[in-house]
């Protein structure tokens, strides 16, 4: 088999789709993961350049399904070199839940649902992937968010889950380095995808674009390029890093 074996969660659409395309364009074999969008995933896998791409399915909120999905991807790809934890709950999957205006039952449900996918799903996928990388080395790249740093008052569970994802990645970066496994994150601001489409409409969209001095939001391909670099052999020394990709819309030191 030629190229590396890549698993990209949530890759049937949006940022994940662009990431899958970027790896395939570089000659890698990609496992396209989806939860409930099989037609889109199959369409993407068939359209990717190169050969050996596969489709895998799992609800990331189900720990057993996550482990089975990662093992399936590794078996069908002939191993696993890179895991991209891209899948996440936002937009329609993570509606606003401010402290005032959200009843207590819904408040609890939102936090559980968001952490089940954004943190626990990613952590379980990383654990399962590391079992396949232990003897060969590898890369784990997590797609975090600007919201981990600036706060998300309307969607606090989302911001908190991404902050926890960053912390998890840094802990794993230290734990897995002796095995040749580097772990890092990218933290985008708004990206133009179907998940963020409703936020980018009309007056709200103009306000969001104005947050960046470039007066726009990111393209999925820009995030994909950074992920592709972090997964490269040259980026080992970036292990533990969290790379901001927000067009100077939020600056931290």
Backbone angles phi and psi of 69, in degrees to 5: -65, -45
Backbone angles phi and psi of 139, in degrees to 5: -140, 140
- Is 250 annotated as catalytic? no
Cα(77)–Cα(145) distance, integer angstroms: 29
DSSP 81-121: SEEEE-----GGGS----STTS-HHHHHHHHHHHHIIIIII
Q: In angstroms, what CA-CA distances link 59 with 36, 69, 70, 118?
A: 8, 9, 12, 12
H or E segment and range at residue 243: strand 242-245
> Of 104, 158, 179, 250, which is the active-site residue?
158
Between strands 138-143 and 29-34, the pairing is unpaired
Q: Which residues are catalytic?
A: 158
């Amino acid at each position: 088999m030629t190229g590396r074996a890549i698993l990209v969660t949530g890759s049937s659409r949006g940022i994940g789709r662009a990431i899958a395309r970027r790896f395939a364009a570089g000659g890698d074999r990609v496992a396209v993961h989806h939860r409930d969008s099989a037609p889109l995933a199959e369409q993407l896998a068939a359209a990717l350049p190169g050969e050996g791409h596969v489709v895998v399915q799992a609800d990331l909120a189900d720990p057993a399904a996550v482990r089975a999905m990662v093992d399936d991807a590794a078996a069908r790809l002939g191993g696993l070199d890179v895991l991209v934890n891209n899948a996440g709950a936002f937009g329609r999957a993570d509606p606003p839940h401010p402290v005032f205006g959200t009843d207590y039952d819904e408040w609890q449900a939102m936090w559980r649902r968001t952490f089940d996918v954004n943190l626990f799903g990613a952590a379980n996928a990383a654990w399962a992937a590391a079992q396949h990388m232990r003897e060969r080395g590898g890369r784990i790249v997590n797609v975090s968010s600007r919201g981990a740093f600036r706060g998300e008052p309307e969607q606090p569970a989302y911001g908190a889950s991404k902050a926890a994802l960053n912390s998890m990645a840094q802990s794993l970066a230290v734990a897995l380095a002796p095995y040749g496994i580097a772990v890092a994150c990218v933290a985008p601001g708004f990206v133009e995808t179907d998940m963020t489409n409703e936020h980018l409409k009309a007056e709200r969209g103009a306000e969001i674009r104005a947050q960046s001095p470039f007066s726009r939001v990111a393209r999925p391909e820009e995030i994909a390029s950074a992920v592709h670099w972090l997964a490269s052999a040259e980026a080992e020394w970036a292990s533990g890093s969290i790379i901001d990709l927000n067009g100077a819309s939020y600056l931290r030191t």
